[in-house]
Structures are given as C-alpha cells and as structure tokens.
A and B are shown apart, each in its own frame.
Chain A
Amino acid sequence: MSGLFQEAILISIFAATLRTMTPLLFSAMGELVTQRAGIWNMGVEGTMLMGSFVAYFVATATGSLWLAVLAAVLAGAVMGLIIAFMTATMRVDHFVTGLGLNLFAGGITLYWFQSYVHGGPQPSFSGFEDVPLPFLSDIPFIGPVLFSQRLLTYAAFFIVPAIWFLLYRTRYGLELRCLGENPKALDVKGLSVPVRQYGAVMFGSAMTGLGGGFLMLAFSDRFIADFSAGRGWIVVVALIAGNWKPKGVLLAVVAFAFLEAVATHAQVVGVGVPRQLLLALPYIASIILLMGVRFRTGQPAMLGFPYARE
C-alpha cells in the first residue's frame, strides 16, 4: 500500500468519524440534559427513529431539507412531551415509559411509511451535501477531515460547549442539575418540579429528534424499517460511559463513531473479517464498555425516581 493511499484512508476514516458522530452527539447532548434533570429516558431510540421518519416524509413531500430538519426537531419535542407526561405527571416507571415509546415509534413509523408509499415506488430525496469551508478546507489533512463536512456537523462542534455552558454557567442549568440530584430541594424553594422536567425532557428530545433527522438527511435518501438501527441505545450507553459529563459523553460518542468509521472502511481496504462482525463493532464495544464501567460517580442521585411530595 502506498503512503498516499494510506493517508487517503486515514482522512476518510476521520472525516467519516465526524460525520457519524454528528447525529449521535445531538442525541447524546439532548439525553444528557434529560438525564441530568432526573428522567432516565430509555426512549432515545424511538425518538431518533421518529425524527428520521418525519424528516424523510417532509423532505420527500416538500423537497425542503431544512423544513425536514425543523420537522424532526418538532417530532422529537412531541415525543418528549409524551415522555414528560408519563414520567413527570403520571409518575410511570421511566424504563417502562421509554421501552413502550420505542415499540410505539417502531410500529407507527412503519405503518406511516407503508401508508405513504402505498406499495408504489418509494419516494427519495437527495440529502445534505458537504459544504467545504473556504481556505480552511485547503489545509492539508486537517482541512478534508474537519472543514469539509455537512453544515450540521459544524454545528455539532459547538453543541458540547453550549450544553456545558447551559448546565454549569446558567441558573437554569443549576436548577436542572438540582432536579436530578434532589428535586425536593427545588420544591421547597417554591419552584415547580414538573414544569422544569417537562422543559428538560422536551428540549432533550427535540435534540434527539434533530439527531434522528440528520441521520436521515445526511446518510440516506430513503427510509427503511428500523432506520436508526440501535443508535439510540448507543447514546444511552455513551451517557453511562461518559459518566454524565459533557466532555465524557463527547469522548464516548467519538469512540463509537470512530469504531463505526473503521468498520465501514475495513471493508474497503479488505480486512479478512466478516462484514457483519465489523459492523457490529460499536455494539460489541458498548457491551464491553458497560461491563468495564464500574464508577458511576456522575450519575444523578435521583435519576429514574419519579418525584412526589410525601
């Protein structure tokens, strides 16, 4: 293999890492906000799937990708509203809520999809293209990796510091973290716990919906059943692996994205490993990671406990 080819492969792997990372990062940062508010939302997978389908529908029906992005965000927020109603108002077990929602999303998207297609030819769209930044993308190696990406990937660069700032430098962030650690501490100050939980879950799920939408609009041209393919679960794992800290979650997401990028490129290079096994790499890694993560110091103390005044 020539050096030039090696460099091209490396650039391609790193660029793919960033591209793959984008939907995961949006979803993970949304889920981080949700979980820091004490709601152990297991419905990430369903919410991403919903975002993907709605994005597909709007993109094919209107032809506008940005309208599709907006629709995915709204779809996520609606899913968040359902989750918040179940967990904060009805005080249903958080896991049951999330699992139920995943089943619901899987079923309803398939139903909508088939009603939409009617057995005819499946409508498709052409998704987001790379937008190389002037000058920056000309820098050798770094340019094609960092600055020759989709617009939303550039946005993803800023999402981690933005969420960090929200959590640690604003009064909303302090109240939000308080929800996850001890909601009663807010209640006794006269602040409504459910109102803030609704806000956090809807914001977080809107971000997750955005992640699902981007997954559709940047990686595909059509919807298929179970489109999100377990990425929502990867996000849940990333939260635990990242110890519920923005930087930690970022690292976990990057690691998963890198593995996925390596897996897809290994086929091109022709490593003697079955394709299916390669594609399963991120999922296998997540299992190993979960077994390895013994410390959960960052886990919000009241994560997953419905709050009620005694």
Chain B
Amino acid sequence: MSLLPSIKDPTPANARKAGTEDKPLALHVAGLTKRFAGVTANDGVDFDLEVGEIHCLFGENGAGKSTLSSCIFGFCTPDAGQIIVRGQPVEMHSPRDAIKLGIGMVHQHFVLVPEFTVLENIIVGTQKSGWRLDDRAARQKLNSLCEAYGIEIDLDAYVWQLAVGRQQWVEILKALYLDVQILILDEPTAVLTPDESARLFAIMRKMCANGMSIILITHKVAEVMQSNRVTVLRKGKTVATVQTRDTSPEELARLMVGREVSFSVNKSTIAPGDTVLEVSGLGARGYWNEAVLNQVSLSIARHEILGIAGVAGNGQKELFEVLSGVRWAREGTIRLNGEDVSRLTPRAMMDRGVGHIPDDRFREGLVGPFSIAENLILGWQRNAKYRSGLFLDRTKIAALSKTMMARYQIAARDDEVPVENLSGGNAQKVILAREFLHSSGLLLANQPTRGLDIGVIEYVYAQLLQKREEGFAILLASEELSDLFNLADRIAVMFKGEIVGVVDPKTTTVEEVGMMMAGRRMEAGR
C-alpha cells in the first residue's frame, strides 16, 4: 500500500535495535584485558552503558566483575583495550581521574571511617581550597540531596553509631556529593534488609531519572531483574548483553554458569530410619551470661535432613557449637545413637563421626595460611592414617589431597596452595571434602552455601542429598528459605534461642515460616 520504505515499520527487532542505538552512551568499554600475575581477570571485555539506565554486571565470583569495575574507576590500568567516556577515549591512572570524569563507586565493603561523622566521611578529601575545615556549603548541598532522594540521615551522627544498612546511604551520599554521572554499585544489597534494598532501588531509579547511569554489580538474580540491561561475564569474558525484559532468571543463570542449572532438586523419598541425634531441653549462655539457647529439643534420624530456619543471630550458631562440642550446654542432654554426649569435647565428637561445617569458613573452618593438603587433614592430624611415627606421612597426605581435589573439583594449581588464596567456593569444597571424608552418621551444616555462586550451591546441595541417601542425619541451617523447602524433611524455626515450631515443608508455606521467624509461635496441634 505504501510506497515509502518501511523504515517506520515497528517490528520488535527493529524497535529494539533502534532503541539501543539512539540513546547516547555514557560509557563504552572495548576489548578490555587485564592480567594479574599470570591470571587473566578480564579477557577482551566489551561493555557499554547508556545514559539513564541501570546496567547489571552479572557473573559468578571471579568472573571479572570487580576487575572491570576497578578499571572503570581507575583503581587499575587495563593491559589492553579502551575505555570511552561520553565519546572521549580516556586513560585513567587513579580514582582521581575517574572522579574528574564523573565516575563514582560504592564499594562492596564500605569505605567509611567509623570514628568520623557522616558529614566528615562525605567531605573528607573533597575540599580543594582554604585550610580551615569548612562544612557550611557541604551541609546545605547534602540537605538538598537528602531531600531530593528521600534519604533520612543525621549528618552529625558518627558512622559507628549507624546500623550497617544506614551506612549504605552514607556511601550513596558520598557519590552524589561528588556529582557523579556514572555510578558503580558493587553488591550494594549484601548487607541490606529486603525493605532497605527496595528503597535503594527506588533511589537508583531516581538517579537515572536525573540523568545518571548506573552499573550494578550483583550475583542475585532477583536484583538483576530490576535493571534495564544485563551483561553476563564468565571467566573474564563477556558472554552476552541482553535487555532484562527479554530474558528470564533461568536464562541468566544458564549464561552465568555456562550450563543448565536446575533450581529444583531431585530428592528421593526415603523413610527416616533410627534416631541418630536426640536433644532435649538444651540451654546455653553467652559471653554476657545472657541466654542464647533455651529449652531446645529436637531429633534427627537416619536419611533425614532437619532444616533450621531463622533470622541470623537467633541462636543457630550457638546450637551448632553446642552440638559439635565447641560450647558446653548449661542444661539439657544430647544423645548420639543413644549415648549421652552432652559433656564431650569437639575431638570426642569428631571421633564419634560428627562432621561440622561452620558458617564462617575462613575463621572457623580453615586455617588460611595452611595448604589445601594440611586443611584436608586438619583436626585429624593425630590419626594413624596420616602419620608415620611422630611425623606426618606426606606421601599419604599428598595421595589423599590428590583424590579429594579431583573428586570435589577443587580448582587450584596443586595441594600446596594456601587456602586463603582460594575462592569462597573452592575453600568451601575443602571443608566439605574433609568433613564428608571423616564423618559418619551426623553432619552439622551451618550456612554451607553462604556467599557461594549458583553453580557451587547446586553442587553442595547435591552432595548433602547424597549423604542423606547414604544414611546420614543432617542438620542444615540456611538463610535462604527456598533452599530449606527444597532440601529439608522437616524445618525447625528458631527465634531468640528457642525453637518456636517444627513444620513439614510439604504442608507449610514460606509465609508461615516467615511469621514464625519473627517470633509467632505455631499453634498447638498443628
């Protein structure tokens, strides 16, 4: 009908292409390569950021997200490739150059001085003239910024007085105060409650409406879905850049890991066997003599996973410590296969086949400067298997670590590498290998997947399910309720050191457990 060429034809493909090309670019990274001591952290990464968008950098730990952002913020200089800011190729040697170009960054671990006030933290290093400290102009500017973005904060409060979540607003204000145009946020919600995260995203959208552009680094799929576009990194390379509305969590997870990831687990239906662990009336006190455990009773049978749900700090850690013998209970009894073990030392518990995966893997699970091989036998160094006379039998230990590194896919040059140089996932695998190898019957796993990538989480859960199959009784605490619902046969909910209820995940909803985590007791008879 029309003689005009169909350039206005709004086919989805055309519309999408035009949409991305028309918008001016705030930042363009082309073929960026960065190596550290032989390891290629970024390998020809391409990335662009449109003005006014939230662009997610998505990838596993070690995929190169942090290196890329460090290069964009001038913390490190790329070995090859180009960074183009608003059409101008730039070379940055220090954050000073980045700040001049209007690039700001909120680091994952806050860069704040607890002893300074909020105001001092924001203005330190920004005053360029005059030698007397002058905060009047800063105060005015900050007040209007707070008003514009709906941030409520006392500028004269000391940062150490602020809850961790509120410290994030200080970091945001630091960036806003410097008038940044491009803001990099590195895992900004790691320490925020869901409510605070929602507020952060509202602030981010306001920033974008004001013409700022945001690079959001995350490995949480739910957050990615709130962005405009996503760039997925894997092993230092750009895998794909997609419009968020055109993708799905499943696709993103597949792109990130490089293979299909099953979000559901295949749990076999095995009837629980004999009772392995029987705890009754357990009570324990903390450093200030406050009750940290109160009348805790539970039991776990063979072929059973008992999940522990609860907001962190409600006695979970203490429960695991008591059960592994690290902390003594004031009241109550612990029976392991019928034997009273309430007063046993950690070593005696280990000898009875109790495996313990602590929640803080680098502080309690491993000795950082020790090698993989040494950590694999940690606690078992007395065992005749690893000794020849008075000395450690290095040949046997080396053989063991070789097997374990292969079986648990621990990625490291060799077994002499100190575990502190390993990624969180590989370090956790060392603990898993050790505890699985030496335990029999009971496994205490406190937050075994905290801070790990999807791929590793999947692996850890598969391992736990296999142990369940083999007849282990497993106590599993997790802050991810969905995981507990997938894995556990029963879920005990802890609140203020007490178990407020034990529920069957098949007949309960996440919401109900959530209510119990906030202290609502389960009604009798349910």
Contact = CB atoms under 8 A, between A and B. Distances in A.
Max count, chain B CB within 10 A of own CB: residue among A177, A185, A187, A301: A185
User: Which of the listed residues B73, B100, B107, B115 has the most CB atoms from chain A within 10 Å of its own CB?
Assistant: B115
B97 A178 contact: no
A233 B178 CA distance: 43
Contacts of A192: 94
Contacts of A301: 113-115
Interface string A287-310: 000000000000001000000010
B95 A190 contact: yes
A246 to B, nearest CB: 15
Which of A175, A178, A185, A188 has the most chain B CB atoms closer than 10 A to its own CB? A188
Given A186-B125, A188-B105, A189-B124, A178 B96 contact: no
A172 B76 CA distance: 27
A284 interface: no
Interface residues of A, number: 22
Interface string B127-166: 1001111100000000000000000000000000000000
Nearest to B123: A174
A184 B108 CA distance: 13
A182 B113 contact: yes
A169 interface: yes
A181 interface: yes
Interface in B309-347: none
A174 B124 contact: yes
A80 interface: no
Interface residues of B, number: 31
A309 B124 contact: no
B124 A186 contact: yes
Contacts of A172: 131
Nearest to A298: B115
B498 interface: no
A30 interface: no
Q: Which of A181, A186, A189, A192 has the most B CB atoms < 10 Å from its CB?
A: A189
A185 B132 contact: no
B121 interface: yes
A181 B98 CA distance: 24
Nearest to A170: B131
B99 A171 contact: no
B75 A185 contact: no
Nearest to A172: B131
Nearest to B98: A190
Contacts of A182: 111-113
A191 interface: yes
A186 B130 CA distance: 18
Interface string B189-209: 000000000000000000000
Nearest to A300: B115
A178 B131 contact: no
B116 interface: yes
A185 B99 contact: no
Nearest to B129: A171
A171 B126 CA distance: 9
A25 B125 CA distance: 29
A173 interface: yes
B120 interface: yes
